[in-house]
A and B are shown apart, each in its own frame.
Chain A
Amino acid sequence: MSPRLLGAALALVVAGTACGDNDSTSLTVYVGRSETLVAPLIEQFEAESGITVEARYASSTDLAATLREEGTNSPADVFFAQDPASLGAVAEAGLFRTLPDSVRTLVPSQFSDRDGLWIGLSGRSRVVVYDSTRLSPDDLPADSDGLLDPVWRGRIGIAPSNASFLAFVAAMILERGEGATRNWLEGIAANEPQIFSGNAPIVAAVDQGTVEVGLVNHYYLYGLIADQGASTAVNHFFTTAGPESLVMPAGAGILATSDHDGAEEFIAFLLTAESQRYFAEETFEYPLVPGVDAPVGLPALADLAQPDLDLSDLAGALDLATDLVAAAGLL
């Protein structure tokens, strides 16, 4: 066997494994959400529309970075993301096209991009999750500043590198300015919080009794309860109109490079009453289409006080939020 033959054989092995699936009739969706949670919904869409969906699952931030990198070469038709910051990052790069009014009018404008580049599909509220065996709702702080009280030293769990915590920090920057946000982060750091990698591990730790309170998104707890039957962890919704009460939409946008007719159909499908009920019942998120009930046992969306800010600006404050979090020694 000559070296050349060896090389050729190797090239064959590598080429043989290259079976990229470039079916032009299928709809390619980049999904920055949990596959376990949304795959059934996508299957439902395939069954109803007859369109095959190629769903690519990864974290929303990674997919946003991927889309920005791919630019006009992207095979994606739709970006279905977990948070407004990732959507905003893609919008900011000029990669989305404007959604038609027929879709835009379905959701209150506060949950979508002001220029119609992406639309909110379901809502996720920031909450404090607490260990009900050690604390009652009266013990909990009234707002995010309450967490700066030294009484909470070592008792708070946060996930500073997580997109939703950073969105909360970005919201604080938009609302209070950079200086006040820096002070808040330094105050939290002085309270020696326990650092987690994401919302899910915080909720699991509160459930296990390893940490007393955690700053998270509301729906993780209900997934845990659905899975294990019960939990001593309880969600507390802030009643203040600050960044700590922020409702962040998961949403979607259509890539400017997509010419697939199914893209709009897909987004419209996610906004039908049936899909919206799926969000309420299976992922415990807030339906954003008016008239569909909130998940059982949760306060109504309209009752959640909201900070006065435009979600379209959130992505722009994200890198600054990460810088401030890092500067406070929390990353």
Chain B
Amino acid sequence: MTAPAGLAPTPTPATPGVTPLLRHTAVPRWLWLAPALALLPALVPFAHLIGRVLGSGSRIGEVVLSAETGRLVANTGLLVILVITSTAIIGIGAAWLTEATDLPARPIWRVVVALPLVMPSYVIALALLAATGSRGYLSDLTGLNIPSLTGLPGAWLTLTIATYPYVYLAAGAALRRLDPAHEEAARGLGAGPARTFRTIVLPQLRPAVGAGLLVVALYTLSDFGAVSLVRFDSFSRVVYAQYAGRLDRTPAAVLAVLLVLLALVVVWAEWRTRGHAAYHGRPVRRTPRLAALGTRGRVIGIATLGALATVSLTLPIGVLLAWAGRATEAGRDIPWQGMQGSLTAAALAAAVAAVLALPTAVLLTRHSSAATRWVERTAYAVFALPHVTVGLAMVFFAARYLGGLYQSLAVLIAVYAAVFFAQALGPVRAAVLQVSPSIEEASRSLGAGPVRTMLRVTAPMVRRGLFTGALLVFLTTMKELPATLLLRPTGFETLAVDVWSAADSLLYSRAAIPAILLLLVAALPTYLLTRRER
């Protein structure tokens, strides 16, 4: 970094508005309850599965040491690197354009840019496959011979579209929270807009963007639907192939454990590059000054976002509409049951995850220790578990030990909340980091207990982060498929299940309506996610 000392917002006590992180010596023990409740529904069945794998003894070395495993790790690593690079560029760039500039119609752009979040990656993959290839819609439309998007390019594009909104939303929320004083100081000291962005804004976005990119990387690791449709040889595809193909689940479980180790490497890498930054803005909120783009800048900005929306939204929606257009009467029925199921499950999962994320975030930021760092790593590792693994492990476990709860909505919700907990934790943790501990200190010194302080002082100040976390869990739950299929109560439908069921039989015209509904239902939460706080 070439910025003069004092310009860079490194969190030294000398930086204005920054207070050193205070650490309480005594960690309230009940704080540990929250991450335990959140993560155990995924961890216990998984541990049970591992126990069985180890107990069975056979094949473990054989699976781990195969040359194939090395190739898969390399393939998957390459895909992850490509996807996090493209999503970082798109996510941060789009967030800057829609949050920090005077681009016209920003509220609309914010929804448009974020909306692909709700499309299941396998729907994006299906749409891209239908659009490309020598007989695809695009070739028909343009008369050109557009090659089919398979393999690495297909996986890269599909997962980029499916996941860049995570970075975009994280970066956008962080930009909205920025204290403009730092920027103004930089500009006042003579730094240009580009340099200010690079040296002042970008480092402050680091925790939020890092959390977003971590979600992207782990999503890419565990995604099965898209990679198998575009036929990219990734780790999770092979885990699934082992599951699908045999009754003996040992090899699949071993590979799943390897996948979790891979996820831990990613989490560790993010941890290493994160540093231990804490940016506590002053608790004064001002509207930041927007960068003036000028006419030429606006045209370029709109063209860029337009191109992004064309690929990530118009193309898949166009394909869905073409499918819906040829639907018979039965195919045009509104799947009310699926809609009700999706909304119920997603709302409950979001509520549970957010409620448990707050105490966990307080634990992670205010009582940081080696143990709490493992809580966070575990949350991300659970997020990276292939859902088919979690689902099956839970079937194994619940059928034996949970009695009446087996195949109940409660178990499904608990699993959703567990696997998506990291998504709620990311924004809440980032929000808590931006609250100066001195305020909590004041509350404590005035006689309020830790619970009261958390609920009456911290919670209101991080409500935006809580809301963001809940909405992210809501939107991701809406599109979840493998665990839903395995754990849902008998007769319970979701829109994602409706889409899959039809598409799996090549009845695309019937898959179109629930897929479009999924987008429509998600539009409002997406709008709320991108709305500016008044």
Which residues does A use to contact B, with CB under 8 Å?
Answer: 1-3, 6-7, 10, 13-15, 17-22, 28, 34-37, 54-59, 61-62, 64-66, 68-71, 73-75, 89, 160-163, 166, 194-198, 200-201, 203-205, 207-210, 220, 223-224, 226-229, 232, 318-319, 321-322, 325-326, 329, 331
Contact = CB atoms under 8 A, between A and B. Distances in A.
B241 A161 contact: yes
5 contacts: A7-B30, A13-B355, A56-B407, A65-B249, A318-B247
B352 A13 contact: yes
B490 interface: yes
Contact of B247 (A2, A15, A64, A224): A64
Interface residues of B, number: 69
Interface of B: 28, 30, 33, 37, 68, 129-130, 133-136, 148, 150, 228-229, 231, 233, 237-238, 240-249, 251, 326, 348, 351-352, 355-356, 392, 395-396, 399-400, 404-410, 413-414, 451-452, 455, 485-486, 489-491, 497, 501-510
A71 B406 CA distance: 13
Contacts of B452: 1
Contacts of B485: 57-59, 62
Given A210-B148, A331-B241, A223 B507 contact: yes
B244 A36 contact: no
Given A73-B406, A207-B135, A224-B506, 20 more contacts: A3-B451, A6-B30, A17-B408, A17-B410, A19-B489, A20-B405, A20-B406, A22-B404, A58-B485, A62-B486, A66-B399, A89-B247, A160-B245, A197-B229, A197-B241, A208-B133, A210-B133, A229-B326, A322-B245, A322-B246
B458 to A, nearest CB: 13
A227 B229 CA distance: 20
B490 A166 contact: no
A94 to B, nearest CB: 14
Contacts, number: 191
B129 A208 contact: yes
Contact of B231 (A59, A166, A194): A194
Contact of B501 (A36, A54, A73, A75): A36
A43 to B, nearest CB: 12
A161 B244 contact: yes
B150 A210 contact: yes
A20 B404 contact: yes
Contact of A318 (B246, B414, B490): B246
B260 to A, nearest CB: 20
Contact of A319 (B248, B352, B409): B248
A14 B133 contact: no
Given A18-B405, A203-B506, A210-B150, A69 B326 contact: no
Contacts of A205: 129, 148
Nearest to A90: B247
A175 to B, nearest CB: 20
Nearest to A35: B501
Nearest to B359: A6
Contacts of B237: 197
A259 to B, nearest CB: 18
A207 B130 CA distance: 10
Report whether over half of chain A's contact residues are helix, strand or loop; otherwise say mixed: helix
Nearest to A131: B135
Most buried by A among B240, B491, B510: B491
A205 B128 CA distance: 12
B247 A65 contact: yes
A59 B508 contact: no
B506 A200 contact: yes
A331 B136 contact: no
A201 B134 CA distance: 16
Greatest chain A CB density within 10 A among B242, B352, B407 is at B407
A228 B352 contact: no
A220 B489 contact: no
B505 A220 contact: yes
A14 B37 CA distance: 11
A313 B237 CA distance: 29
Contacts of A7: 30, 33
Contacts of A20: 404-410, 489
A322 B148 CA distance: 29
B352 A54 contact: no
A319 B451 contact: no
Contacts of B348: 13, 17
Contacts of B242: 161, 322, 326, 331
Given A66-B399, A197-B229, A3 B33 contact: yes
B486 A18 contact: no
Contacts of B30: 3, 6-7
B142 to A, nearest CB: 16
Contacts of A56: 407, 490-491
B399 A70 contact: yes
B247 A162 contact: no
A195 B501 CA distance: 22
Given A15-B410, A318-B246, A200 B505 contact: yes
B136 A208 contact: yes
